[in-house]
Structure 1
Amino acid sequence: MTDPIYKTDALIADDIEAYLDQHQHKTMLRFITCGSVDDGKSTLIGRLLYDSKMIFEDQLAALENDSKRVGTQGQEIDFALLVDGLAAEREQGITIDVAYRFFSTEKRKFIVADCPGHEQYTRNMVTGASTADLAVILIDARKGVLVQTRRHSYLCHLLGIRNIVLAVNKMDLIDYDQARYDAIVAEYETFAKGIGIESFTAMPISGFKGDNITANSPNTRWYEGAPLVQHLEAVEINAAHDAEKPFRMPVQWVNRPNLDFRGFSGLVASGTVRAGDSIRVLPSGHTSTVKSVVAYGGDLDMAQAGQSVTICLEDEIDCSRGNVIAVADAPPEVSDQFEATIVWMDEEALLPGRGYWMKLASQTVSATVAEPKYEININNVGGPGDHLAAKTLELNSIGVAEVTTDRPVVFEPYADNRALGGFILIDKITNRTVGAGMLHFSLRRAQNVHWQATSIDRDEHANLKNQKPKVLWFTGLSGSGKSTIANEVELALNAMNRHTFLLDGDNIRHGLNKDLGFTDADRIENIRRIGEVAKLMADAGLIVLTAFISPFRAERQMVRDMLPEGEFVEIFVDTPLEVAEARDVKGLYKKAREGKLKNFTGIDSPYEPPERPDITVNTVEMTPSEAAQYIVSKIAPLK
């Protein structure tokens, strides 16, 4: 008989193959650790990596050396150093950025995000929580429930994390006092119910000593629950729950390797799909039947939430990136107006009315955010005064506001579907991600207002006037000569029998925009309204001239995007500030310098000159008449 200790090469190969097969089919749990500063988040993750044997010998040696160098009050290993990678983090003993680590056990694979505890890094915590299935919220047993404990708990609930572990850490520092532990859990339970957290799993642990991490600790015999790792191995993950929902797949790209194959590739966001299923493509509403579901290696009998696949259809219907393929009899909604919760993540505050890029699944649209309905007082969630009046959102603020997109998008409430309910906002000029949001529902007015088709279109309006419609957008500082030159251009066009209309900034503020002031938000709304009016006039076939400071590039680009290619002509009236101020025809610069006129462009409010204007005229070198003739020559021909 062969001694079982000594295995043949074949047996060893079988063992390796079995292990690899088992590892390949393990489920993946994504979770985060969060809580207040110095609650032991990084130490806990370091302990998990250490206990799961995910540290190489050279890493362990380096960790021991770093622990001695940093100084950790006598402990042999500072597990937090495995996660805190930035020099500033190690020096200060805190976490600044989100650190992702991978480890596995015999039953499951894990990706854990160590989220910073400081309030100023709330945006980092939101990033880590956005893809998590579970949150481990740590509490220092000596300190109890703190403000940041409440903040992170609320954010986890807001971001749709329903599996929450309340880990009361550093139990070794209170001699494993059950009464203290029970008091902390009771206090947290009262708070959790107030913000809508229906259930959570509490456990006493010590990340440093290892109590109740991989095995139940003899120091807490009064605790009857499972240790942390065992709980993480058993908890149900979102993918399993998502598979039970109706089928949705945002299309990432059209897969067309040759003329004989055309499929639509993407990540299945929810539900399951098989050959023969009836589907609907949104927002168009076209229907078809699934011909096959293809993945790497060949056709699949079925694909479910979390899998990346290519779907081939029986019919040649229009479908492209940004569309959503869904089950035919239960499709998601389509709308262009929503209520949403927004977490603001940029140093520059939200500017209501400004156009931002909105990315929702594989859809990218232009979106504006209205003035917030309220800001959430994160330090008093669930209590009196948890809603604060707000005109904007500052860095790390959370508020509820209405969002409007330039065209309908396919969506579901975030509470029902993260993939089709969560979005980010991107600054159009800098390409910075400035906000993250969760859609609640579409506004009723969006469903009740429909575009009415008319018999006479814009081309026929233009043909009647024998001209090509244009919007001549004059921009420059106050006193640069915009209105004067625009008036000269209109006179010249009138002499050429062209149909025109001049929209002047001051004149518009006497009527249509009389309710607006001169804050950045009001200036943005001022330009938005003018853009809409100019578009309607261009639809009527007119050549529209607008003379506005329009200080921000983003809003000028917004108006350009409203019009067909080539119809928007940005004319930069380039006049140095000192020249414009010397003219000061209206006495506005003098008032601004004396502090009597706030938010005046060029003095205490910025002007962003065009980077690539279509036409530039310099009023120091040209007279208004010469500038006008130059502009007319550049926009010709007009038919």
Structure 2
Amino acid sequence: MSNAENGLLKFITCGSVDDGKSTLIGHILYDSKLLYADQEQALILDSQVGSRGGAIDYSLLLDGLMAEREQGITIDVAYRYFTTDRRSFIVADTPGHEEYTRNMAVGASFADLAVILVDASLGVLVQTRRHARICALMGIRYFVFAVNKMDLIGYDQKRFAKISGDIGMLKAELGLQDAVIIPVSATEGDNVTWYSDKMPWYQGDTLLAHLETVDVSGNVPETGFYMPVQRVCRPDHSFRGFQGQIEAGKVAVCDMVTALPSGEIALVKSIHIGDKEAESAVLGQPATIQLDREVDVSRGCVLTRNTELKIAKAFSATLLWMDDQRLVPGKEYWIKLGTKLLPAIVTGISHKVDVNDGTLLPADSIVKNEIVRCEIVLSEPAILDEFRLHKTLGELILIDRVSHATAACGVIETTDEQKQDSVFLSDGSGKLQINLFDQFYYHPDIHTILRHSPSPAAYAKGDTLPLRGEGFNYPFDFDLVSDSDFANIRDGIFIGFGPRESRYPLLDASGIEVDAPRDFGKYHKVMIWEKKREAEAMEDL
């Protein structure tokens, strides 16, 4: 059976610190006879000075840094390439310590499948949940939960069943569709590469057998063709080609493509892959595309066909915050979208996510390793899309403009034109998005007034509206401008869409009185950001 039969599998090992990730992969390499003789001898000699009484320490095959060996933990991501008779693999062994969560996220960004280890003696921990959530955030759809160290609990089936129940709740919470649970012992080799007679109650595949046979081709292919332009190639005056990697679909000579953001249309004149001319190029291939006429294309532009990519300046995103400095709305960053790098501002924080249970929590600022939903505005419109539709143009990183360190990675949830996490009024016959309950803060550090939007909500006919708040104060009777009719609020209750009554104030969807444009602050007040935070800190004490 050819090792290409099931295709290349890129996977990641992750979980809490000391769950046995490096040991597990090391054992696969060792048992599968995938080491050179000198590597095997070096492993045996290095293990003599380890903490296992001379027994082979398989983690040493992955943990190569001196600091890793001294502390007995993984710090950097270790990539290994290996093959078996049935498949080829690239594995990223990632750190479990919370301090190195950013390194784990880097490994997750390349993988098709995640092997999440759970210590059988400890169960599902906070860092296990965080890593599972990050893997799901990065678009990984296939999971293996390896319940490790079964030897330490005497291969107890009841304990395994209890942990499986906790994992089942985590799977339901994250909406994981393709996930299996396997009991293993990475140090002893049980159910890693061979079936263990110590767990006869387990009837599933070994870990390696599952990795060799799992089909990860079930991802829904992205629509159309697109290639972000990485470089414009001008070897001489007669040739102008656009270089990049094809991220979806295929392109052939004589195809008609559109250059975004200009919208200019041209035919593909020639395609080069490396130094060879080709009739077509497909997903994953780096290509140089020459068009039949001059168009306005530079680095950061996108060549596309039948994709319906969006050009937007604002969107909402879910981020994993990776910087030691807090995320505070109003600060500027560099943002990387595809091959485009441009300034951006995080204008507001919608909520952060409790990594334990997925609860959405209000937040004014975010600290390292927290997951947050926020609003981002770009300095100019850019080509992008929702991550679920087009992965490459839906993923992003934020870069600190002073230190040039990566501050966050994340994915686009909704663009400005399709945003759904807002406040709506609906009576069955119509629907109106409103920003009445946004609060405004003055941030003294950056001398800017910032807006903070409330959690998503929908108010139906007959609902009482929260017209009194810390940052706003509306009358109990007024009308709101709608596309067709007017939204009528009487005695603080939304009574539906109807005619305008002139005796009541008329407001637009942002809460500004239409007939009194100079009274912008009539129903709003600006609060001092720092005073608010100090008051909250005093309450906590």
Provide TM-score, normalisation by structure 1.
0.64
Equivalent AA in structure 2 for residue 426 of structure 1? I
Shift of 1:61: 2.1
Distance change (3 Å), C-alpha of 1:40 and 1:150: same
Of 417, 420, 433, the residue aligned with 1:444 is 417
Shift of 1:363: 0.6
Gap runs ≥5 in structure 1: 1-18, 448-514, 529-597, 600-639
Of 225, 235, 250, the residue aligned with 1:257 is 235
Residues 297-312 of structure 1 mapped to structure 2, 5 A cutoff:
298-312=276-290
Of 165, 176, 191, the residue aligned with 1:212 is 191
- Structure 1 equivalent of residue 27 of structure 2: 47
Residues 51-450 of structure 1 mapped to structure 2, 5 A cutoff:
51-73=31-53, 76-237=55-216, 241=219, 245-296=223-274, 298-327=276-305, 329-381=306-358, 386-444=359-417
Equivalent AA in structure 2 for residue 279 of structure 1? V
Question: Whose radius of gyration is greater, 1 or 2?
Answer: 1
Percent of residue pairs identical = 44
For 2:291 and 2:219, the matched residues in 1 are separated by 26
Q: Is the 8 A contact 1:337 1:446 kept in 2?
A: no
Secondary structure of the residue aligned to 2:356 is: helix
Distance change (3 Å), C-alpha of 1:397 and 1:524: farther
Distance change (3 Å), C-alpha of 1:429 and 1:25: farther
For 1:260 and 1:315, the matched residues in 2 are separated by 12
Equivalent AA in structure 1 for residue 293 of structure 2? D
Distance change (3 Å), C-alpha of 1:248 and 1:174: same
Shift of 1:51: 2.7
Equivalent AA in structure 2 for residue 413 of structure 1? E
Structure whose residues are more often helix by fraction: 1
Secondary structure of the residue aligned to 1:331 is: coil
Q: Is the 8 A contact 2:6 2:213 kept in 1?
A: no
Deviations 1:517-551 (A, max 9, x none): 4642xx252699xxxxxxxxxxxxxxxxxxxxxxx
For 1:109 and 1:320, the matched residues in 2 are separated by 37
Structure whose residues are more often strand by fraction: 2
Shift of 1:231: 2.2
Shift of 1:203: 1.5
Distance change (3 Å), C-alpha of 1:220 and 1:293: farther
Distance change (3 Å), C-alpha of 1:237 and 1:271: farther
Equivalent AA in structure 2 for residue 341 of structure 1? T
Distance change (3 Å), C-alpha of 1:195 and 1:446: closer
Deviations 1:581-612 (A, max 9, x none): xxxxxxxxxxxxxxxxx89xxxxxxxxxxxxx
Q: Is the 8 A contact 1:243 1:304 kept in 2?
A: no
Shift of 1:301: 4.2
Equivalent AA in structure 2 for residue 406 of structure 1? S
Q: Is the 8 A contact 1:354 1:524 kept in 2?
A: no
Gap runs ≥5 in structure 2: 421-439, 452-529, 532-541
Deviates more, 1:157-166 or 1:425-434: 425-434
Equivalent AA in structure 2 for residue 285 of structure 1? G
Residues 453-532 of structure 1 mapped to structure 2, 5 A cutoff:
517=442, 519-520=444-445, 523-525=446-448
Secondary structure of the residue aligned to 2:376 is: strand
Equivalent AA in structure 2 for residue 409 of structure 1? A
RMSD after superposition? 2.7
Secondary structure of the residue aligned to 1:113 is: strand
Equivalent AA in structure 2 for residue 333 of structure 1? K
Secondary structure of the residue aligned to 1:423 is: strand
Equivalent AA in structure 2 for residue 525 of structure 1? T
- The answer as to 2:20 corresponding to 1:36 is no
For 2:237 and 2:270, the matched residues in 1 are separated by 17
Equivalent AA in structure 1 for residue 167 of structure 2? Y
For 2:269 and 2:201, the matched residues in 1 are separated by 58
Q: Is the 8 A contact 2:385 2:415 kept in 1?
A: no
Equivalent AA in structure 1 for residue 405 of structure 2? R
Equivalent AA in structure 2 for residue 367 of structure 1? A
Shift of 1:421: 0.8
Distance change (3 Å), C-alpha of 1:416 and 1:233: farther
Equivalent AA in structure 1 for residue 67 of structure 2? A
Shift of 1:141: 1.8
Distance change (3 Å), C-alpha of 1:445 and 1:54: closer
Q: Is the 8 A contact 1:178 1:222 kept in 2?
A: yes
For 1:25 and 1:307, the matched residues in 2 are separated by 21
Distance change (3 Å), C-alpha of 1:149 and 1:78: same
Equivalent AA in structure 1 for residue 270 of structure 2? S
Equivalent AA in structure 2 for residue 300 of structure 1? A
For 2:109 and 2:230, the matched residues in 1 are separated by 20
Equivalent AA in structure 2 for residue 50 of structure 1? Y
Deviations 1:36-64 (A, max 9, x none): 12111010111122233332222222222
Q: Is the 8 A contact 1:242 1:270 kept in 2?
A: no
For 1:180 and 1:205, the matched residues in 2 are separated by 13
Q: Is the 8 A contact 2:313 2:377 kept in 1?
A: yes
Distance change (3 Å), C-alpha of 1:245 and 1:207: farther
Equivalent AA in structure 1 for residue 292 of structure 2? E
For 1:148 and 1:78, the matched residues in 2 are separated by 24
For 2:304 and 2:194, the matched residues in 1 are separated by 44
Secondary structure of the residue aligned to 2:173 is: helix
Q: Is the 8 A contact 2:442 2:450 kept in 1?
A: no
Secondary structure of the residue aligned to 1:200 is: strand
